[in-house]
Structure 1
């Protein structure tokens, strides 16, 4: 697939079936992720893969996190949390690894890690792999962080679900660049001192 075609037509795929991406496909996914823009070359990211029975274990962790947050949560809410990792044959937990640096603030490192996830999503689309990037309250949950053994400087920036799309991918609704892009001129702001 051409690069521009992937950029212009990538869509999230919520329903994902077996099989999971092959080892060769995964290699390309992560190689693409590692090409993200990265001020200072800090590589402020890492990834955990979760598949097979580990998805059920992650579901138990999600259920425990939900119960820790709300001991009176209805059974349906707990069951939903438990089933989340089963929505795809492969999950990638995307983690930002924030490093102290005098010239690269935390915000730039988070952007770099997010760009790495975007690269992974584009590589998935280019290979015909369905993918969706999900966050939600479990991404920020202390019980989940502890269960995944995150360090104090690490944050989950999302769960990427990967698998085979059950049907032909939908076409994205075209957006008009003119709705989002304007030309700046000093007339919009304060006078420029010369």
Structure 2
């Protein structure tokens, strides 16, 4: 086997190991440190390398880090308190910390819309693929990532407060940090249950 074949085999094994070992940790098990600016830039560059019919880039990224996580949490808590005036301070505090549980959160935003050739559904799926590559890139760089959408991702008031236009939607909020403790893998479906042949 020549050097090129050896390198290709090693790369393939590393890629397969990466894909087989990615897990979504519990949000409270994501700790500091988070990615450096250079690592984050690399993750986002990788996340943008997705199938994208028509080269529309029908998605974008919103980075929540540092004190911006707390400011975003205040906006989320304000909407929650408005809708739940009976909620006590502890319950509102839970909402305030939605985006500060991990060192970094990246909102993946879909800006899919009507197009003469490209179905909106395909544009949305391209954004979902960006979420997937983002969590894989985090794992490849030694971090852990959890892709969440919670109530505030669907509320137009919180979306606006977090910088989204009226026609934009969160595909996911990817929480990224260092794994605080080992995670057990969850059961995966048997191929016999999910694969058919036509």
**What TM-score bracket applies, with the shorter chain setting the length?**
0.7 to 0.9
How do residues 165-184 of structure 1 correspond to structure 2 at under 5 angstroms? Answer: 165-171=179-185, 173-184=187-198
Is the Cα–Cα contact under 8 Å of residues 156 and 166 in structure 2 kept in the other structure?
no
State the TM-score, normalized to the length of structure 1. 0.88
CA distance in structure 2 between the partners assigned to 1:158 and 1:11 by the alignment: 16
Structure 2, unaligned runs of 5 or more: 1-10
The equivalent position to 1:154 in structure 2, one of 168, 177, 185, is 168
Deviation, structure 1 residue 3: 1.7
The CA deviation string for residues 21-42 of structure 1, in whole angstroms up to 9 with x for no partner, is: 0122112211211111111111
- Within the alignment, does 1:49 sit opposite 2:63 as a pair? yes
Deviation, structure 1 residue 172: 5.0
128 and 172 in structure 1: CA distance in 2 versus 1, 3 angstrom threshold: farther
State the TM-score, normalized to the length of structure 2. 0.86
How do residues 64-83 of structure 1 correspond to structure 2 at under 5 angstroms? Answer: 64-83=78-97
| Runs of 4+ deviating beyond 4 Å | none
CA distance in structure 1 between the partners assigned to 2:64 and 2:163 by the alignment: 14
Paired residue secondary structure (1:40):
coil
Deviation, structure 1 residue 55: 1.2
| Equivalent in the alignment of 1:13 | 25
Structure 1, unaligned runs of 5 or more: 185-194
Deviation, structure 1 residue 169: 4.4
| Equivalent in the alignment of 2:5 | none
Larger mean Cα displacement after TM superposition, 75-84 or 48-57: 75-84
Deviation, structure 1 residue 7: 1.6
Paired residue secondary structure (1:143):
helix
How do residues 77-156 of structure 1 correspond to structure 2 at under 5 angstroms? Answer: 77-156=91-170
CA distance in structure 2 between the partners assigned to 1:112 and 1:53 by the alignment: 30
Larger mean Cα displacement after TM superposition, 104-113 or 68-77: 68-77
CA RMSD of aligned residues (A): 1.7
Deviation, structure 1 residue 75: 2.8
Paired residue secondary structure (2:30):
coil
Matched positions, count: 184
Deviation, structure 1 residue 57: 0.7
